[in-house]
Amino acid sequence: MKVLKFGGTSVGSASRMKDVAKLICDGDQKIVVLSAMSGTTNSLVEISDYFYKSNSAGALERINVLQQKYIALVEELYTTEISKKEAYEIVKSHFDFLRSFSKSVFTLFEEKAILAEGELLSTTLFQLYLKEIGENSTLLPALDYMRIDKNAEPDTAFIAENLAKQIANQPDKILYVTQGYICRNFYGEIDNLQRGGSDYTASLVGAAIHAEEIQIWTDIDGMHNNDPRFVEGTKPVPMLNFDEAAELAYFGAKILHPTCILPAKLNNIPVRLLNTMEPQAFGTLISNQSKKEKIEAVAAKDGITAIKIKSGRMLLAHGFLRKVFEIFESYQTAIDMITTSEVGVSVSIDNTKNLDEIVNELKKFGTVSVDKDMVIICVVGDMPSENIGFQARVVNAMVEIPIRMISYGGSNFNISFLIKAEDKKRALNALSKSLFN
């Protein structure tokens, strides 16, 4: 069985939903993971924000605006009066639920319940549409099988067991529709897999059922060789291996959520990135394929802070790096890039929640300087060190960009640069021009 995930834009309107239905109704049994309609999760975040600020009027106003969108959808999506009536009732009950929060204390717990509404709405309305057009489909409620543990990691055994049970209860269905993004946590509360997490749902579901393929359907024809939001004339990359795709996703290629690669890689399930608006396009196939010694793509990760620790004590000493890393560990702050010299070390982080505390502690070991508003530019491909020339080409392409850090050698798949945010667009374009033209 295949798992097909459709993102927010792919289910963003009545006509898009109808296109998705056409794509999936080919008689093959499959699991269909849906995101919330585009814009909905952002609206739900905003609504929660008003509730946090005890501004119920603000929240109610936003809820009304969002509800209008769904009312318009119902008018356009369904043909029969029976379906329309049922859809209006579904919409009403979900929006009444959102309104009910104006009467309660508002905490993270309530916020997560609100954020789940986007995927609950899109899947319920889509399933009703499939019913109207006579498809043999059913809903698999994600809240009954998708679970994370105390460390917010997926509980894979629970997921596999409960998903299998749900499918076994209705074995004769052709289409199993389920919610991306949402789950329950260790305490049984409604939770989620973080923004953009529907991709993660698709790969966890794929791994749980040993799917033959996971397809991520979105609004572009695959992983492009550079970020299309900043570079013109980017092209889809037909094939990537799991490591390359993971690097690109982690370093900013928004088309794929970074967590989504690991479950697929561990279970050796190919992931295909496809375009809902151009279904014939080949897209990108991500698999365990062998090496091919080629630079594939460039991505950029924003919001990076660089920290440099310079110390005479590091010279010929051992244990210095351990002390430095322990500080980051004690503040649960992950390090992205590292470069060292005999007298200092530079690291980059993206979580600055505990930056002041970290800097204070680091000052015990040396002089510390911090650069904010930085970006990691990441060049990805199969670039083995024995095969000379790749690294030089990449560095040459950056000839006009001031570089704060460079890193290669952690793997053969990645050369990273840390630069100022203001130079990002120039750097991405320079790399495209010299590596892919």
Q: Contact 100/51 with Cβ under 8 angstroms?
A: no
Q: Per-residue contact track with Mg ion, 164 to 203, x per CB under 5 A?
A: --------------------------------x-------
Which of ligand ADP, Mg ion, ligand ASP, none is residue 197 near (CB under 5 to 8 Å by kind)? ligand ASP
Q: Does 254 interact with ligand ADP (rule: CB under 6 A)?
A: yes
Q: Per-residue contact track with ligand ADP, 199 to 218, x per CB under 6 A?
A: -------------------x
Q: Does 220 interact with ligand ADP (rule: CB under 6 A)?
A: yes
CA dihedral (69, 192, 145, 174) positive or negative: positive
Shortest reach from residue 24's CB to ligand ASP, in Å: 18
CA-based nearest residue to 42, from 118, 142, 123, 143: 118
Binding test (CB under 6 A) with ligand ASP, winner from 14, 33, 178, 197 = 197
Q: Does 154 interact with ligand ASP (rule: CB under 6 A)?
A: no
CA dihedral (20, 244, 251, 212) positive or negative: positive
d(CA 206, CA 431): 35
Contacting range for ligand ADP; rule: CB under 6 A; set: 69-77, 224-232, 350-358, 413-421: 224-232
CA distances for 106 relative to 49, 53, 77, 109, 114, angstroms: 10, 9, 34, 8, 11
- Residue closer to ligand ASP (CB basis): 51 or 181: 181
At residue 225, what are phi and psi to the nearest 5 degrees? Answer: -75, 0
How many residues does the structure list for the chain? 437
d(CA 349, CA 418): 11
Q: In Å, how far from its chain's centre is CA 294?
A: 25
- Among all residues, whose Cβ is closest to ligand ADP? 7
3-class secondary-structure state, position 426: helix
Q: Does 258 interact with ligand ASP (rule: CB under 6 A)?
A: no
Q: Does 344 interact with Mg ion (rule: CB under 5 A)?
A: no
Q: Which two tokens stand for residue 31?
A: 């699991």
Q: In Å, how far from its chain's centre is CA 187?
A: 24
Q: Does 33 interact with ligand ADP (rule: CB under 6 A)?
A: no
Contacting range for ligand ADP; rule: CB under 6 A; set: 202-210, 221-229, 287-295, 374-382: 221-229
- Residue closer to ligand ADP (CB basis): 35 or 412: 35
CA-based nearest residue to 17, from 135, 113, 173, 190: 135
Q: Which residue has the tokens 């309609």?
A: 37
Binding test (CB under 6 A) with ligand ASP, winner from 9, 41, 179, 412 = 41
Q: Does 196 interact with ligand ASP (rule: CB under 6 A)?
A: yes
d(CA 102, CA 113): 14
Q: Which residues bind ligand ASP (CB under 6 A)?
A: 7-8, 35-36, 41, 118, 180-181, 195-198
Binding site for Mg ion (CB under 5 A): 7, 196
Q: Which residues bind ligand ADP (CB under 6 A)?
A: 7-10, 35, 196, 218-220, 223-224, 227-229, 253-255, 299
